[in-house]
A and B are shown apart, each in its own frame.
Chain A
């Protein structure tokens, strides 16, 4: 980068200098010519005078005069020459000043390029082999390659293995088509370590539009990716807990539903056994088999219930606003992907509540997911609002308001029951679990349709009155 710029600058000043110097040279030549002419005239004069028979003294004097004239010419000449030198000096100085200025700017730009976090590299586009002619220190730090391994080498060799050959092909094609490349990718460091980077390659053209250089910019995305990954993992964990909770609730409901007929079957069989007591040995045997199998089924259910026993909530002091914020963070990628907008209006100075963090997050996650689904079919419906407030002095209110399709009046009552769902792939457990969680926290979960559009699901939580200690 440094050299071409310098060349350009010095080329300009050289041209300028040559032009100025040629001009000066012409002036000198003219003056010299004039001097020669004078000498000629003098010589002719002298000859004429001689031929006219002028006396010798006069001749001698004339000769002296001529000599003086010659001296004068020589003097003039040297003056002109020294003038020329002065002139030349000035021009040179001016050029040096300009060069200095340009160099200073280049220096700043180079420094800037060297200090940026992004890995920057320049590829010579005039040669076919994607030769790197410059890379900044961040590039070396990011890739783990040394200057020796980078400069003059084909950029794509840094990708090394064939794993990325498709990617390399895509980048090359994009560049050869004269297009800017940008993409997020997993890069390999020299030591094989992988890192996420955002790669952007832009084109540098000359006056004629020919692409002379490719300028690449590599941004390390590892931290960003990691943060996103962490969010994803947390969300997955929460979803897992929710799923397990749903399964437990499902099994519990199922167990209840199956236990009822099992009770009836057992009672009927035992009644029949008694009715035919001492008679009908074959029937007695059959009835005993029915009883045994009934009890076997009951045992299976008991074991299932034990396996999926709901974990006891662990209560702690919670700031509900912080909890909501955390949950929104977890849901953000989801919300953005669905092109929805979430707004959180926390009430300031809310006291803490006593609750199970995971369980309350589950409730929030469930309500937010439901709201998103209610708004899914309608692109106009984008706004999701979460609000916290005081319901009264002892109770907090959390509202999740969507602008979706709302809840049909006839479904309002069934909404929180087991197995109620209007989603094709729904289990109908989410709201019933959410309600039982809120109730276990001493609150109430309810729903209402908004006057304009959509529905609001809201729940209350009792406030623990603070003693002297600050809320956590």
Chain B
């Protein structure tokens, strides 16, 4: 079965010097906390949000940092969040993370300018590699 769990599109990488922070937007609190714990062991500075709205309310569009974005969320979903980020003129690197198995999610994620798409549960090394690649660019 063609199962694209890990997709990277280099052309979507935004040029920036460093990636000081990681933002996580996921409506599942446990997922947020676990990913934060994991990424902190890699010395990332991690902030979590349970909704896109609270992310937009707290983080300015030009504040540097990579975004781990869940797709299925009540209210503003992942796709809508990415659309808003793009229209705000932000150059934020976005990695979609979803528990949903969507046939064309990986392609769609790249098409809307994301850095990648990861299927939950996410393997730590895969995630960190993707974050590192995107912050180097």
Q: Tell me the A residues contacting B by CB distance below 8 Å.
A: 252, 255-256, 259-268, 270-271, 274-275, 294-295, 298, 302, 305-306
Contact = CB atoms under 8 A, between A and B. Distances in A.
A267 B68 CA distance: 14
A103 to B, nearest CB: 82
A306 B31 CA distance: 24
B75 interface: no
Nearest to A297: B121
23 contacts: A252-B101, A255-B101, A259-B120, A259-B121, A260-B30, A260-B120, A263-B31, A263-B35, A263-B97, A263-B99, A263-B120, A264-B30, A264-B31, A264-B35, A266-B34, A266-B123, A267-B37, A267-B122, A268-B38, A271-B34, A271-B41, A295-B121, A302-B3
A259 B37 contact: no
Contacts of A274: 38, 41-42, 124
Contacts, number: 73
A268 B37 contact: yes
B1 A306 contact: yes
- The listed residue with most B CB atoms (<10 A of its CB), out of A263, A265, A295, A298, is A263
Given A255-B101, A263-B99, A263-B120, A270 B31 contact: no
Given A260-B31, A264-B31, A275-B41, A270 B124 contact: yes
Which of A255, A266, A302 has most chain B Cβ within 10 Å? Answer: A266
Contacts of A255: 99, 101
Given A264-B31, A265-B121, A294-B121, A259 B99 contact: yes
B14 interface: no
B107 interface: no
Nearest to A310: B103
A298 B120 CA distance: 8
B101 to A, nearest CB: 5
Contacts of B63: none
B121 A266 contact: yes
Contacts of B37: 267-268, 271
A171 to B, nearest CB: 61
Interface in B76-123: 97, 99-101, 120-123
A281 B72 CA distance: 38
Q: Is the interface of A mostly helix, strand, loop or mixed?
A: helix
Contacts of B34: 263-268, 271
Contacts of A271: 34, 37-38, 40-41, 124
Q: Which of B1, B99, B124 has the most CB of A within 10 A?
A: B99
Given A264-B33, A266-B124, A271-B34, 8 more contacts: A259-B99, A263-B99, A264-B34, A266-B34, A270-B38, A271-B37, A271-B41, A274-B42
B28 interface: yes
B30 A261 contact: yes
Contacts of A265: 34, 121
Nearest to A257: B99
Interface of B: 1, 3, 28, 30-31, 33-35, 37-38, 40-42, 72, 97, 99-101, 120-124
Contacts of B28: 260, 263-264
A305 B99 CA distance: 12
Nearest to A274: B41
B124 A267 contact: yes
A432 to B, nearest CB: 14
A265 B100 CA distance: 17
Contacts of A294: 121
A256 B99 contact: yes
Nearest to A294: B121
A82 B98 CA distance: 121
B27 to A, nearest CB: 9
Contacts of A302: 3, 101
Nearest to A275: B41
Contacts of B35: 263-264, 267
Contacts of A275: 41
B84 to A, nearest CB: 22
Given A256-B72, A259-B120, A302-B3, A267 B101 contact: no
A267 B35 CA distance: 6
A49 to B, nearest CB: 145
Contacts of B101: 252, 255, 302, 305
A267 B120 CA distance: 10
Nearest to B70: A260
Contacts of A259: 99, 120-121
Nearest to B1: A306
A162 B41 CA distance: 82
A385 B91 CA distance: 54
Contacts of A262: 120-121
Most buried by B among A255, A256, A264: A264
A263 to B, nearest CB: 4
A8 B43 CA distance: 117
Nearest to B41: A274
A294 B34 CA distance: 14
Contacts of B122: 263, 266-267
Contacts of B100: 252, 256
Nearest to B37: A271
Contacts of B38: 267-268, 270-271, 274
A265 B42 CA distance: 17
